[in-house]
Amino acid sequence: MIDVDIDQWLDRFHLAVAFRADAPIVGLFGRSGAGKTSVINAIAGIATPQRGHIRINDATLFDAAQRVDLPPEARRIGYVFQDSLLFPHLDVKANLLYGQRLRPVAERFIEAERVVDLLGLGPLLARKTHTLSGGEKQRVAIGRALLAQPRLLLLDEPLAALDGARKSEILTYIERLRDELRLPMFYVSHSIPEITRIADTVVLLADGKCLAIGDAEDVFERIAAVIEDDDAVSVVETRIIAHDEPEHLTTLAFEGGRLVVPRLQGAIGDRVRATVRARDVSLALQRPAGISILNVIAGCVASVNIEGRATVDVRVAVGRALITARITRRSLRELDVQPGHDVYALIKAVSFDQNSVGYA
C-alpha cells in the first residue's frame, strides 16, 4: 500500500495531493506542470513537503507531525529519470552492480542474473555506455535501479527521449518486471497511450491537485478537462480469444463486443488493455455493409458532450465498456444522435498500434 498525503509550496505553485494505491504500477498522469515530478521527488526524499506523510506498506518515509524525514539513501527508492544518467567511465556490468554494492547482502532480494535476463542485458554487459542506443541505456538504468534493491521504483517520463519502436520495447520490459517481480512502481507520464498500457491504477493530477484515482478504464472517462482535445481516449479491458496467423490479426473479446487488432504475441486467454482514440471512432445508425472496417460494434449512446466546440464527443455503452467517438457537429445533427439511441461504433483495426495495446 502506498499512502501519500502532502502539501508543499514551491514558489507560487501549491502541491496538495492525497491518494492511496495498492497496485503493481501506479500511473501519475497530467499535463506538464501538473505536479507529477514534484510528487515523486517528495517520495524519493529529494524535496521536503511542509505538511503530511508518505508511507509505503508499514514504512513511514515522511511524517511532518512526527518529524520523520528519512534521507534519500535510507528510503530504498529506485529512481529512473528521462535521461538514463549512466556512469560514462563504467561499462554496463559495472553500472548495474553499482547500486547493489551499497546494499547489505541480507537485504538483496533481486538477483543480478535475474535482472539481466528480464531486461535482456546479457549481450550488453561488456559494452561502454556511449555505444548504447537510447532504449538500451534506459534498460540499463532500470536494471541499475532494481539492483539497488528498492522497495519502490520511480520512473519519471522514462520514454520521453525515445522513438515509437523503442518506447514499445521498454514498455514490454516494464510489463515483464511488473508480472515477474511484483515490485511496486510509480510511472510518470503525460502520454495517454503509455499510462493506459502500463498502469494498473491511475492518479490524475492537474494544477498540483489530485482530480481522480482508480482503474485506467474509469479515470480516463473523467479526463477530458485536463488533456488536449486530440488525446481523448477510451480504455477497454479485453482478453485474447483468437489469432489469425495468415491475416496477421488478433481478436480481443470484452463484455458486449470484440475488437480485431494487428497480431499480438500473447497467448489465448491473456488479458489485454486496449486504448481507443476518440478520433478513430465513427458512428453509424445501421450496421454498414461493404466496408473495409473490421470493428463494427453495437452499442447504445450513453451521453453527448457538446461544450461549444467544433467537435462533439459521443460516449457509447457497449456492455460495461464506454467507447468515445469524436464526430463533427454536422454529423451529430444529421444523425440526430441522442442518449438512449442504438448506434454502431466503427473502428479500423489499423488504428491500433504497439503503444495502444498492452498486457494488463
Classify residue 119 as exposed, middle or buried by CB count within 10 Å of its CB (0-12, 13-18, 19+): buried
**Mean pLDDT, range 168-176, rounded to an integer:** 85
The pLDDT score that the predictor gives to residue 261 is 95
Please check the confidence at residue 100 and state whether its pLDDT lies above 80.
yes
Please check the confidence at residue 41 and state whether its pLDDT lies above 90.
yes
The rounded distance, in Å, linking the Cα atoms of 93 and 80 is: 17
Residue-wise over 42-66: b if at least 16 C-beta within 10 A, else e? Answer: bbbbebebeebbbbbeeeebbebee
The pLDDT score that the predictor gives to residue 296 is 97
Per the model's pLDDT, the better-predicted residue between 96 and 165 turns out to be 96
Reading the block at residue 1, the C-alpha cell is 500500500
Residue-wise over 342-357: b if at least 16 C-beta within 10 A, else e? Answer: ebbbbbebebbebbbb
Residue extent(s) of CATH 2.40.50.100 domains in the chain? 233-359
Please check the confidence at residue 223 and state whether its pLDDT lies above 80.
no
Contact by Cβ (8 Å): 174, 198: yes
Q: To which H or E segment does residue 73 belong?
A: helix 72-75
| Band of residue 225 on the pLDDT scale cut at 50, 70, 90 | very low
Share the mean pLDDT of the chain.
88
* Phi and psi angles of residue 325, each rounded to the nearest 5 degrees, phi first: -110, 135
* Phi and psi angles of residue 82, each rounded to the nearest 5 degrees, phi first: -60, -45
**Mean pLDDT, range 124-132, rounded to an integer:** 93
**Mean pLDDT, range 338-359, rounded to an integer:** 88
Amino acid at 301: V
Please check the confidence at residue 126 and state whether its pLDDT lies above 70.
yes
| Band of residue 222 on the pLDDT scale cut at 50, 70, 90 | low
Q: Which of 151, 186, 323, 172 is nearest to 254 (CA)?
A: 323
Contact by Cβ (8 Å): 90, 165: no
Classify residue 6 as exposed, middle or buried by CB count within 10 Å of its CB (0-12, 13-18, 19+): buried
* Phi and psi angles of residue 127, each rounded to the nearest 5 degrees, phi first: -80, 150
Contacts of residue 345, defined as CB under 8 A and 6 or more positions apart, other chains included, come to 281, 282, 283, 295, 296, 297, 299, 316, 318, 323, 325
The rounded distance, in Å, linking the Cα atoms of 315 and 308 is: 17
* Percentage of residues in the chain having pLDDT higher than 70: 95
> How do residues 270-307 score in pLDDT, each as one tens digit?
988 898 989 999 999 999 999 999 999 999 999 998 76
Taking the CB of residue 208, how many other CB atoms lie within 10 A of it?
A: 20
Q: What's the topology of domain 233-359?
A: OB fold (Dihydrolipoamide Acetyltransferase, E2P) (2.40.50)
One of 1.10.3720.10, 3.30.70.380, 3.30.750.24, 3.40.50.300 is the CATH number of 2-227, namely: 3.40.50.300
Taking the CB of residue 157, how many other CB atoms lie within 10 A of it?
A: 19
Per the model's pLDDT, the better-predicted residue between 100 and 78 turns out to be 78
Q: Is 194 helix (H, G, I), strand (E, B) or coil?
A: helix
Please give the C-alpha separations between residue 6 and each of 29, 51, 122, 323, in angstroms, as whole numbers. Answer: 17, 6, 41, 35
